[in-house]
Amino acid sequence: MSNALKRLLDLMPKAPEFVGMITHEDHPKYKVLMVDGTGLVMCTSSTKYAVNTRVFVSGQEIKRTAPPSGAVVQIEV
């Protein structure tokens, strides 16, 4: 029988995800301005994105597009 807590923890992301706006695009390298005001981050992605697209960033990698509007909420787990 496997440990239910370990299976639940394995579903949680290992690195936090942040929302940012792409300011410069030179696929596969992007400059992303973080919404929380921390500044520009150099990121990479295998998917091509356009300038002014909101994206989720984890580490230095763009994971996927983010909703175009709405408030950013920080959730502690």
* Extents of the domains making up the chain: 12-65
The chain-wide mean pLDDT, for the chain, equals 87
**Residue 35's pLDDT band (cuts 50, 70, 90):** confident
How far apart, in whole angstroms, are the C-alpha atoms of residue 55 and residue 57? 6
Nearest to 40 by CA among 72, 65, 66, 18: 18
Question: What does the pLDDT look like over 1-23, one tens digit per residue?
Answer: 468 888 888 888 788 889 999 99
Q: Considering only residues 69 and 77, tell me which one the structure prediction assigns the higher pLDDT.
A: 69
Q: Which fold has domain 12-65?
A: OB fold (Dihydrolipoamide Acetyltransferase, E2P) (2.40.50)
Given this model, what pLDDT does residue 21 score? 93
Given this model, what pLDDT does residue 76 score? 74
